[in-house]
Structures are given as structure tokens and as C-alpha cells.
């Protein structure tokens, strides 16, 4: 559940912690990312594509070859209402987050950032901005993406709090608190 006092407290605490980690200042206005509605056909631009290429060269796990794969899968259209978060340092695009929205929920689809800014935990920052958007729009749930047992590269999604994270068990057809 996203819209609870516990989730709100976690969001505020984690954003403060992230913005002041090690006493460093974010080199950009961390409280003013832009959020736009994506178009239906090609919602990304050349700047996004170049940043994604730089990001994928810097990571040690497999991901999509192109942004279009994350959004369209094997099709040619996006059936979802998608939003994009762009984070700039001055005029320089340094991070992008793409998420889908429904009637009661949001789901992160793809986050990527400039490897030169990796010390600023921009993946976590994008999660927090999506949580803020979700809370402002009174969504009930937020799905940050999957985690994989024995693949710690995805565990950063749990920083929002294992006590509020849930997983779906298809064998029981029910949701359980992650532990």
C-alpha cells in the first residue's frame, strides 16, 4: 500500500537521506524534476537514447537493447498511460525514469542515468520521485519493478522499506509482506 502514513514517512526519510548522503550536495535542483506525459508512438528523443546507451555500457547486468523494447515489448504501440521524469543538471539531461499509471497504481518501467552521476543514487531518486507523483495523485499502489533472488543489482528497490514491500504469490493467489 502506497497511500499510508508509513509509506509517506518512508518517502520523506529516504529522500532526506538520499539528498544529504555523505554531506554532498546534489548538483541539480533535486526538488524540481520535470514530469511529462509520453506520446503514444515515440515518446523518447535522441537525448534519451544517447543517455540510455551510455548507461547500458556502464552496468554489469543485462537490460534492454533499446528504450522501445522496454515500452513496446514486441509490439509497435504503448497501450498504457506512461509518464517520463527527466532530471537535468543545468541544461544537461542526467537521468530518465519512465513509469505507467493506472486508476489506482503506478509501475516503474525503466530508469537510467548518466554514469558520471552514479554517486548520486539517481535510480533511487527516480523511485522516490515516482512515489511522490503517486502519492500526489492518490494512487493506492506503486510497483518499483521486480527483484530477483541472488541478483543483488535489483535489491536497491527495497530501500523504500522491506516492511512496506509486498510480493504476490501465485500459488496462494495472495499478497504477502516481503521479508
Total Cβ atoms within 10 A of residue 112:
25
The segments of the chain whose pLDDT lies below 70 read 1-43, 146-164
Confidence (pLDDT) at 38: 47
Neighbouring-strand partners of residue 98 = 84, 110
β-pair type (141-143, 105-113): parallel
The string of DSSP codes covering 92-138 is EEEEEEEEEE-SSEEEEEEEEE-GGGGGG-HHHHHHHHHHHHHHHTT
Confidence (pLDDT) at 37: 46
Amino acid at each position: 500500500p502506497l497511500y499510508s502514513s508509513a509509506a509517506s514517512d518512508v518517502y520523506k526519510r529516504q529522500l532526506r537521506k538520499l539528498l544529504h548522503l555523505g554531506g554532498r550536495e546534489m548538483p541539480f535542483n533535486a526538488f524540481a524534476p520535470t514530469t511529462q506525459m509520453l506520446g503514444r508512438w515515440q515518446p523518447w528523443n535522441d537525448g534519451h537514447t544517447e543517455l540510455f546507451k551510455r548507461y547500458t555500457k556502464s552496468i554489469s547486468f543485462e537490460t534492454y537493447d533499446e528504450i522501445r523494447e522496454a515500452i513496446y515489448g514486441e509490439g509497435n504501440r504503448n497501450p498504457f498511460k506512461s509518464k517520463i521524469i527527466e532530471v537535468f543538471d543545468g541544461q544537461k539531461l542526467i537521468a530518465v525514469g519512465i513509469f505507467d499509471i493506472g486508476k489506482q497504481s503506478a509501475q516503474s518501467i525503466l530508469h537510467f542515468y548518466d554514469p558520471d552521476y552514479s554517486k548520486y543514487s539517481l535510480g533511487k531518486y527516480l523511485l522516490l520521485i515516482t512515489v511522490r507523483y503517486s502519492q500526489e495523485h492518490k494512487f493506492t499502489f506503486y510497483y518499483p519493478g521486480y527483484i530477483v533472488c541472488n541478483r543483488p543489482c535489483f535489491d536497491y528497490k527495497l530501500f523504500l522499506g522491506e516492511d512496506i514491500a509486498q510480493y504476490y504469490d501465485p500459488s496462494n493467489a495472495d499478497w504477502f509482506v516481503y521479508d
